[in-house]
Amino acid sequence: MRVPVVGKPGKTGVPEVKEMQRNQVELVWTAPKDDGGSPVSNYVVEYCEETAFRWLPAGDGDAAVLGTRYVVRGLTENTAYKFRVAAHNKAGVGPFSECVAPVKVTEPVGTYAAVVVAINNSTKR
C-alpha cells in the first residue's frame, strides 16, 4: 500500500501592486509551482511599515484569501509598506514570498472622480 506524502506548498511569486489608492493597495501574485501534493486552499497576506519589524495579517483575519489577488485596506496614506504572501494547503502554511519593495501608499496622480452632467437640450417652441 502506498501512502501519498503531503507537504506544505512552496513559495508564491513576489506580490506586485496592481492598483493603489490613498489607503489601500491591490496585490497580485502567482501561485507556487509546488503545491506540496495537496491543492492550495487559501493564501496568507501580511504587511508591515517599511521601518517596522512586525508583520501584520491583512484583512480582518476571518476571511480566507482564496485567489491570487487581494486588496489590503486600512493603510495610512503617505506611509511606505512591504507586503508578502504565503500559500496554505492541508499540510499547513508554506514559506512566505520575497517581499515586494516598499511601496508608499498615495492617491494616484491624475485620478479624478467621475462627474456626470445631464444637459437638457430641449427648447420650447
Residue ranges making up the domain that contains 83 = 16-104
In a domain, residue 47? The reply is: yes
- Per the structure, the count of domains in the chain is 1
In a domain, residue 116? The reply is: no
Average pLDDT over all residues of the chain: 85
In a domain, residue 8? The reply is: no
In a domain, residue 10? The reply is: no
Rounded distance, CA 94 to CA 43, Å?
9
- Read off the pLDDT of residues 78-93 as tens digits, 9 standing for 90 and up: 999 999 999 999 999 9
Count of residues making up the chain: 125
The CATH number of the domain holding residue 67 is 2.60.40.10
In a domain, residue 109? The reply is: no
**How many contiguous H segments (helices) and E segments (strands) does the chain have?**
0, 8
Higher-pLDDT residue of 111 and 89 is 89
